[in-house]
Amino acid sequence: MVIVLILLGLAVLSAGLQIWQWRGASRFPLHERPPAKRGEPGITFLKPLKGADAETLACLESWLTQKTSGALQVIFGVASMEDPVVPVVRGLLERHPAIDAELVLCDEVLGANSKVSKLVQLARRAKHDVIVVSDADVFVPGDLTSQLLAKMQDPLVGLVNCFYRLANPTTTAMRWEAVAINADFWSQVLQSTALKPMDFALGAVMAVRRDALTQIGGFESLVNHLADDYQLGHRVSAKGYRIELSPVVVECREYPQGWKQVWSHQLRWARTIRACQPAPFFASILSNASLWPLLAWAASVRTSLSVVGLVVPLLVLRISAAASMHRRLSPETFRWCDLWLVPVKDLLNAAIWLAAFTGSHVVWRGVKYRVMKGGELVRV
């Protein structure tokens, strides 16, 4: 009974944390659009690329069709002109000749992080004082530029980033990952910002002031880090700048992935977060709102009927909160028939949490690395 009571206490604690996340998510002005202002400053988009799939064309073109009253520059970078994405980019440049856009060969290897190596070389060609970094698989709405610049009117704001959603979960494994991203991740970020000012960044879209970037040593200071987005935000915050979240939600459009690929992706994230924020990552297991009720139920062999009265409502609360937050962030991808994946996701996340402590190796873009203390990469 002592074990059951301890597990029930943890179950109640995880439910309280879930309610806190749910409440914070409901208050954030998600999808709201403050009016854009005229006289916007110039902005440069840096797009490091590698490979292409069926979504690449639409994702890249969304950056060339931005509506802004200021100057717009788009720089695409590849490590080799033999990359499959090159003809896609060249076709886009021909289709949008009026846009200040170019394709740049970034063949210098400056560190373990090949993406940041490209960013270093692309940043040398940036013309404007607001620089936006984004992944290749990100599709953005046409007013993103104006919304980012609206947040940067305050000179104390050094970086603006956005929440993102997995927009095309085409397999069961991807729908499981969509629960993690579309239902949980953004509310966990808001919970973190309720405790302290945001001191990290979300890598889907990051708009940073050139002055702030220069003060942290440029992208050169990040070339050996896996979590370059976290490091960029953390270092900008350390220089006294504020980090803001835009209410705009962007889309991550990925090619179909199975369980092995999704597991590898989630494990890479977990081991990276553990290396960068060991204490918060260790404590994150407390907020697993399916794990503790189910463990309490499993431990109460003789008293299961008395425990079920508490466990079932806690599980209903967890699933209801996940459904609400998923529908708010990404109503297009929400499906009632996927709610069974919520407790499955939580149990698998507990396994990933454990696996994060059993090793320091990750696989990223087909290359194996060791993640060192602080998130630095060493290629194996």
Distance CA 104, CA 236 (A): 27
Angle between helices 291-299 and 2-27 (to 10 degrees): 160
Burial of residue 160 (CB within 10 Å: 0-12, 13-18, 19+) is: buried
The gap from C-alpha 115 to its chain's centroid, in whole angstroms, comes to 16
Question: From first to last of its 380 residues, what are the pLDDT tens digits of the chain?
Answer: 788 889 999 999 999 999 999 999 999 999 998 776 777 899 999 999 999 999 999 999 999 999 988 899 999 999 999 999 999 999 999 999 999 999 999 999 998 888 999 999 999 999 999 999 998 999 999 999 999 999 999 999 999 999 999 999 999 999 999 999 999 999 999 999 998 999 999 999 999 999 999 999 999 999 998 889 999 999 999 999 999 999 999 999 988 999 999 998 899 889 888 888 889 899 999 999 999 999 988 888 665 667 778 889 999 999 999 999 999 999 999 999 999 999 999 999 999 999 999 988 887 777 788 887 777 888 77
Provide the 8-state DSSP code for 143: T
Sketch out the chain's domains with CATH numbers: 2-26+274-365 (no CATH), 31-257 (3.90.550.10)
What are the φ and ψ backbone dihedral angles of 162, each rounded to 5 degrees?
-130, 155
**pLDDT of the residue at 305:** 64
DSSP 81: T
Q: Which amino acid is at 280?
A: P
Closest CA to 212 of 158, 261, 170, 173: 158
Q: Can you tell me the distance from the alpha carbon of 177 to that of 321, in angstroms, rounded to the nearest whole number?
A: 16
Using DSSP's 3-state secondary structure scheme, residue 130 falls into: strand
**What is 238-249 written as a DSSP string?**
HTT-EEEEEEEE
List strands edge to edge, sheet with 242-252.
Answer: 100-105, 72-78, 43-48, 130-134, 205-209, 157-166, 242-252, 138-139
CA atoms within 13 A on the CB side of 117: 15
Tokens 């704001």 found at: 157
Q: Residue 213: name the closest of 44, 79, 75 by CA.
A: 44
Choose among 75, 78, 59, 33: nearest CA to 137.
59
Q: Which residue, 79, 207, 62, 226, is CA-closest to 134?
A: 207
Torsion of Cα atoms, 124 then 125 then 130 then 133, to 10°: -80
What are the two backbone dihedrals, phi and then psi, of residue 247, each rounded to the nearest 5 degrees? -75, -10
Q: How far is CA 199 from CA 168, 220, 244, 267, in A?
A: 29, 20, 10, 23
pLDDT digit string, tens, across residues 104-149: 999 999 988 889 999 999 999 999 999 999 989 999 999 999 999 9
| d(C-alpha 270, C-alpha 360), whole Å | 10
